[in-house]
Amino acid sequence: MEGNGPSDLDERYYAPLTVVVSPEDDGKAVRNVLERRLGVSRKLLSQVKLTEHGLTVNEKRVYTTAPVSAGDIIRLRMEREESDDILPQPIPIEIVYEDDDLLIVNKPAGMIVHPTHGHYTGTLANGVVHHWKERGEKVRFRPIHRLDEETSGLVAIAKTGYVHQQLSEQLQAGAVTKLYLAYVYGIPEPRSGTVNEPIDRDKEQPHLRVVTPDGYPSVTHYEAVHVYEGDSDLRAACVRLKLETGRTHQIRVHMKHIGCPLIGDKMYGPGELGNEAWESAAGRQALHAETLGFVHPIKKEQMEWRAPLPPELRSLEQLLKGGADAAKV
């Protein structure tokens, strides 16, 4: 049939998700098989079934409730989408990993992940959309998580609705490894532990977050990996953190709560009591998303990526080492 050739399908749809019906699924509805085998959500199925080739059994269009037989081939095809509301810009982006389904980038500090009111250009999204356009790829920008503007490090971006759904579920289930490095004032006591304190907006300053009894559950695990103890009254530490929840400003709020605010943090730092040289070296909050890991939704393999410290945090580290006796904990 004209217009239904492989090249036309490739141009209109992403690569299909394919399932061969097993004997144990004989007689079940298509949607039940896809939910069990691929974890496809009802919402995604409801979108896919509206297109001509979105949901087929043996290349024939079917309803989600259609029964299937052992040996049948189910194909789920998602239409290609673009972020038409995001302006492509030739902004340099550091790509750590990319395949047909996923993009991992190392975001620099000072860059917003997604356009917001008043910040329509210069974002990570603008650079990524331009990158895809240059490659001739028709893809919609779907970040799995975000980092604060002044936080550097790894960000995962899904290239299809299915991958976004799968990774979002892994994130909600706590199956995504996210490790951060932070340089903080003071030395945490104990040197490793968990901050389990609820967080919510500050009622007097809504743009800030605070620990409050009626806030949302928030859990941060930390470990001081280096401590810097010099002759001055000021001490510092390099802390590795793992998030169990993902509240806005969670690390910054929790570290301040235990008396170890981040160096360079203008919102939650020590203010005038901070060290001017340390603040200047960092130039921003000293927080870096160092490690990211999860099961690849398509490859079904556990994958992990690491991003080295950016130059400004390496400079801060050298300054701390030079002004204090650094000890690995």
**Which residues form the catalytic set?**
148
Which letter, b or e, does each residue of 156-181 get, where b requires 16 or more Cβ atoms within 10 Å of its Cβ? bbbbbbbbbbbbbebbeeeebebbbb
Which letter, b or e, does each residue of 188-211 get, where b requires 16 or more Cβ atoms within 10 Å of its Cβ? beeeeeebebbbbeeeeeeeebbb
CB atoms within 10 A of CB 107: 24
CB 295 within 8 A of CB 170: yes
Q: Could you say which DSSP state residue 309 is in?
A: P
Query: Of 72, 74, 152, which Cα lies nearest the Cα of 110?
Result: 152
Contacts of 177 (CB under 8 A, 6+ apart): 242, 291, 292, 293, 294, 304
CA-to-CA distance for 31 and 54, rounded, in angstroms?
A: 13
Identity of the residue numbered 162? Y
Query: Of 76, 140, 79, which Cα lies nearest the Cα of 114?
Result: 140
With 0-12 / 13-18 / 19 or more C-beta atoms within 10 angstroms meaning exposed / middle / buried, residue 224 is buried
CA-to-CA distance for 74 and 55, rounded, in angstroms?
A: 7
Identity of the residue numbered 17? L
With 0-12 / 13-18 / 19 or more C-beta atoms within 10 angstroms meaning exposed / middle / buried, residue 25 is buried
Quickly tell me which residue has 């085998």 as its tokens: 37
Tokens matching residue 39: 């974890």
